[in-house]
Amino acid sequence: MMDVAFIFLAITVLFVLLIGLQSLFNLKICALCGAVSSTWIVLLVMFYVGIFNNPVLLGILMGGSVVGAMYLLEQKLPERFQIFKLPFFLTFISATYFAILQSFAFEVAAIPLLLWVFMGAIYAGRNITSLKNLGRKIIECCKNW
């Protein structure tokens, strides 16, 4: 468990360092995202070469970055593209899974791919009333609960 405490300490130090760098260089990065992402990138390399052997912690940190990326997409994507949130999310999660597993599973990749096609069809037909209403419900899924 000491390795987990050390990793938490490393994330904290990187976070403070990035806060300082933001002030010095007017950087437009999220210090938390930068600290967590740089940590899991290093851990992933260490995992691949056999130095680090905690795929659970690695997956949790990578998953945190996926959620952070989703928040960023929600802020930056125009509303009409918000329909693609689920395909983005499952694509990111699949990539994370494949990175940790170090192999590719077509059946896992097929679902996000099919979702991209399905949501793309809804987006393409957004001028058709029924598809427009369905698209609106999908976009507002996280807003009205």
Whether residue 38 is found in the same domain as residue 89: no
pLDDT of residue 27: 83
In this structure, is residue 16 part of a structural domain?
yes
Give the pair of three-digit tokens for residue 105: 């599973």
In this structure, is residue 28 part of a structural domain?
yes
pLDDT tens string 99-116: 999 999 999 999 999 999
Q: Are 64 and 36 in contact (CB under 8 A)?
A: yes
The sign of the dihedral angle between the CA atoms of 133, 94, 61, 26 is: negative
Taking residue 140's Cβ as centre, other Cβ atoms within 10 Å add up to 12
Q: Are 11 and 36 in contact (CB under 8 A)?
A: yes
Residue 45 scores a pLDDT above 60 = yes
In this structure, is residue 70 part of a structural domain?
no
pLDDT of residue 44: 97
C-alpha dihedral, 99 to 101 to 106 to 109, nearest 10°: -40
In this structure, is residue 25 part of a structural domain?
yes
Total domain count for the chain? 2
> Does the predicted model carry a pTM greater than 0.85?
yes
Range of the domain at 49: 1-54
Q: What is the mean pLDDT of residues 15-25?
A: 93
pLDDT tens string 46-103: 999 999 999 999 999 999 999 999 999 999 999 889 999 999 999 999 999 999 999 9
